[in-house]
């Protein structure tokens, strides 16, 4: 998700290629003379201290820039400003390093030494994003947003498994109640009546009373439909073991729901202390949408304008022009997946709640644009609104974005 900004010339650059437990380093001066390395060192406090001491012994006077290639979460310990003694630290996009290898004629040859050479060339060209430390609230927001995202993905997979078990326990239930796990009555049936014979013997009236005693009002039509499905359910040979598995999955689903709600509560408590609090004033942007956007953006000061932010999401279209001919393709998808999803989600929120944005989307639909193009257009609109609000720290003004 990193972008390139203008950086002052450096007297020496330090390229760092990070692995899981070790990293490699190469020190080069502005005239491309190797001063130290490439060597590998362990990613420990003592290992980093030793390599810094050796590097300092060969550094010329002037600015020293350290470039660390992003590698999931493995590179983060080496991007802290306190790790390097007063040196400028920048983060490099792995896609840019790969492209630089291609420029060097080594697209299909990947070694630590070649990666270090590619990183060095990018640093000498002034590429990379200066690493900044976002406010603590933003760091915590990113952690809780990531935790919620993972739990939601696990919950979705668990629900799919639950539906499989329900089809074995209670065949035909989804015909009577399409969204079993998305409704309270469906959850009640799954928890208490996975054996359809119990529900068939209970009958509609007693089922309604059973649900009422647990704080749930069930419509007579719905109750009749469920009881009829129970009486008409086909027997399944592995229903007994399926009910046991179903019980374990239901307990897991309850735990996942609680963790998702806890993460959302933590995000709601953190948002007012972040630069993204003003996003909550936009119609259709709640805690989850604003929190996911803030987690994906990180430090807002990293982004010179909304254009770089949008390009980093991978929503920009592929563009090819040669010999006077131009061809525009689909979105590039070269960027942060989390940022891309956050912007699309913000666009959906505008479509659902903001009259001006909805009118804009309907205009695109009337022009024959498909759903994907409309979603990208709404995300582009949301990106400009969100960036401006965070930059100016202002509440949503409908007339400004009409």
Domain boundaries, the chain: 12-130, 139-268, 275-401
Distance CA 31, CA 39 (A): 20
Average pLDDT over residues 365-392: 93
> Per mean pLDDT, which range of 215-219, 318-322, 358-362 is the poorest?
318-322
Confidence at residue 3, expressed as pLDDT on a 0 to 100 scale? 46
State the fold for domain 12-130.
Nucleotidyltransferase; domain 5 (3.30.420)
Residue 275 Cα to chain centre, angstroms = 19
pLDDT at 62 over 50: yes
Confidence at residue 6, expressed as pLDDT on a 0 to 100 scale? 54
Confidence at residue 2, expressed as pLDDT on a 0 to 100 scale? 42
Q: Give yes or no for a contact between 30 and 11, defined as CB atoms under 8 angstroms apart.
A: yes
Q: What is the CATH number of domain 139-268?
A: 1.10.287
Percent of the chain at pLDDT > 70 equals: 98
Q: 317 falls in which pLDDT band (50, 70, 90)?
A: confident
Average pLDDT over residues 56-65: 90
pLDDT at 121 over 80: yes
Residues 6+ apart with CB under 8 A from 89: 65, 66, 68, 79, 80, 81, 83, 130, 131
Average pLDDT over residues 175-181: 89
Percent of the chain at pLDDT > 90 equals: 67
CA angle 165/170/171 to nearest 5° reads: 95
Confidence at residue 31, expressed as pLDDT on a 0 to 100 scale? 92
Average pLDDT over residues 138-158: 95
């Amino acid at each position: 998700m990193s972008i390139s900004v203008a950086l002052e010339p450096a007297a020496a650059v330090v390229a760092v290629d990070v692995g899981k437990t070790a990293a490699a380093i190469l020190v080069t001066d502005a005239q491309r003379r190797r001063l130290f390395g490439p060597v590998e060192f362990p990613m420990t406090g003592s290992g980093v201290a030793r390599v810094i001491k050796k590097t300092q012994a060969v550094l010329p006077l002037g600015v020293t820039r350290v470039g660390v290639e992003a590698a999931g979460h493995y590179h983060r310990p080496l991007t802290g400003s306190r790790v390097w003694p007063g040196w400028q630290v920048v983060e490099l996009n792995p896609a840019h390093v790969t492209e630089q290898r291609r420029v060097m004629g080594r697209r299909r040859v990947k070694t630590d030494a070649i990666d270090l050479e590619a990183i060095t060339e990018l640093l000498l060209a002034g590429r990379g994003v200066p690493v900044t430390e976002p406010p603590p609230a933003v760091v915590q927001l990113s952690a809780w947003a990531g935790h919620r995202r993972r739990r939601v993905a696990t919950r979705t997979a668990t629900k799919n498994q639950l539906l499989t078990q329900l089809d074995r326990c209670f065949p035909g239930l989804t015909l009577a109640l399409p969204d079993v796990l998305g409704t309270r009555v469906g959850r009640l049936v799954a928890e208490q009546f996975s054996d359809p014979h119990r529900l068939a013997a209970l009958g509609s009236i007693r089922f309604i009373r059973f649900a009422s005693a647990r704080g749930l009002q069930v419509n007579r039509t719905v109750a009749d439909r469920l009881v009829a499905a129970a009486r008409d359910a086909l027997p399944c040979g592995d229903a007994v073991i399926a009910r046991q598995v179903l019980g374990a999955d239901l307990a897991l689903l309850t735990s996942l729901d609680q963790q998702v709600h806890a993460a959302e509560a933590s995000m709601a408590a953190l948002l007012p202390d972040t630069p993204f609090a003003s996003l909550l004033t936009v119609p259709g942007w709640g805690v989850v949408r604003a929190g996911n956007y803030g987690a994906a953006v990180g430090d807002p000061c990293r982004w010179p304008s909304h254009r770089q932010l949008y390009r980093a999401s991978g929503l920009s279209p592929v563009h090819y022009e040669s010999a006077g001919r131009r061809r525009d393709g689909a979105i590039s998808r070269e960027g942060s997946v989390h940022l891309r999803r956050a912007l699309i989600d913000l666009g959906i929120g505008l479509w659902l709640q903001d009259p001006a944005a909805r009118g804009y989307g309907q205009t695109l639909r009337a022009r024959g644009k498909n759903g994907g193009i409309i979603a990208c257009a709404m995300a582009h609109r949301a990106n400009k609104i969100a960036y401006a609000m965070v930059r100016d720290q202002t509440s949503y003004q409908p007339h400004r974005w009409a």
